[in-house]
Amino acid sequence: MTDLQKLSPTFHTPRVPPLAPKEEFRDESLYTAKPWTLVWWRFRKHKLAVVSLIFMIILSTLAIFAHFFTPYAPFTINRLNTFAPPSTVRILHDGELHRPFVYPMKRTRDPETARVIYEEDTSKPLPIQFFVQGEAYRFFGLVETRLRLFGIDDRRQQINLLGTDSLGRDLYSRLIHGARVTLSAGLVGVAFAFVLGLTLGAISGYYGGRIDSAIQRLMEFIRSIPTIPLWMGLAAALPIAWDPIFVYVLITLILSLIGWTHLARVVRGRFLSLKTEDYVLAARLAGASEYRIVTRHMLPAMTSYIIAALTLAVPEMILGETALSFLGLGLRPPVVSWGVLLQDAQNLRSISMAPWLLAPGMAVVLVVLAFNFIGDGLRDAADPYGQ
Nearer to another protein, 38 or 368 (CB): 368
In order, the DSSP letters of 12-34 are TGGGS-TTS-THHHHHHHHHH--
Compute the chain's Rg from CA coordinates. Answer: 27
Total Cβ atoms within 10 A of residue 379: 20
Total Cβ atoms within 10 A of residue 110: 9
Total Cβ atoms within 10 A of residue 85: 16
Residue 377 neighbours by CB under 8 Å, 6+ apart = 43, 46, 48, 49, 50, 52, 53
Helix (H) or strand (E) holding 118: strand 116-120
Question: Smallest gap, in angstroms, from Cβ of residue 368 to another protein?
Answer: 4
Question: Smallest gap, in angstroms, from Cβ of residue 75 to another protein?
Answer: 25
Total Cβ atoms within 10 A of residue 302: 23
Question: Smallest gap, in angstroms, from Cβ of residue 365 to another protein?
Answer: 5
Total Cβ atoms within 10 A of residue 292: 14
Nearer to another protein, 128 or 308 (CB): 308
Nearer to another protein, 232 or 272 (CB): 232
Question: Smallest gap, in angstroms, from Cβ of residue 95 to another protein?
Answer: 33
Contact in structure between 234 and 254 (CB atoms under 8 Å): yes
Q: Which of 359, 332, 331 is nearest to 175 (CA)?
A: 359
Q: Which residues sit opposite 371 in a β-bridge?
A: none
Query: Which 3 state secondary structure label does DSSP give 143?
Result: strand
Residue 363 neighbours by CB under 8 Å, 6+ apart = 175, 179, 338
Q: What span, in angstroms and rounded, lies between the C-alpha atoms of 171 and 164?
A: 5
Question: Smallest gap, in angstroms, from Cβ of residue 358 to another protein?
Answer: 7
Amino acid at 10: T
Binding site for another protein (CB under 8 A): 220-221, 223-230, 232-237, 239, 315, 319, 322-323, 326-329, 342, 345-346, 348, 351-352, 355, 358, 361, 364-365, 368-369, 372-373
Nearer to another protein, 271 or 373 (CB): 373
In this structure, the dihedral spanned by the alpha carbons of residues 364, 369, 371 and 373, taken in order and rounded to 10 degrees, is -170
Nearer to another protein, 92 or 237 (CB): 237
Torsion angles phi and psi, residue 273, rounded to 5: -80, -30
Query: Which 3 state secondary structure label does DSSP give 279?
Result: helix
Nearer to another protein, 119 or 220 (CB): 220
Nearer to another protein, 158 or 311 (CB): 311
Nearer to another protein, 129 or 261 (CB): 261
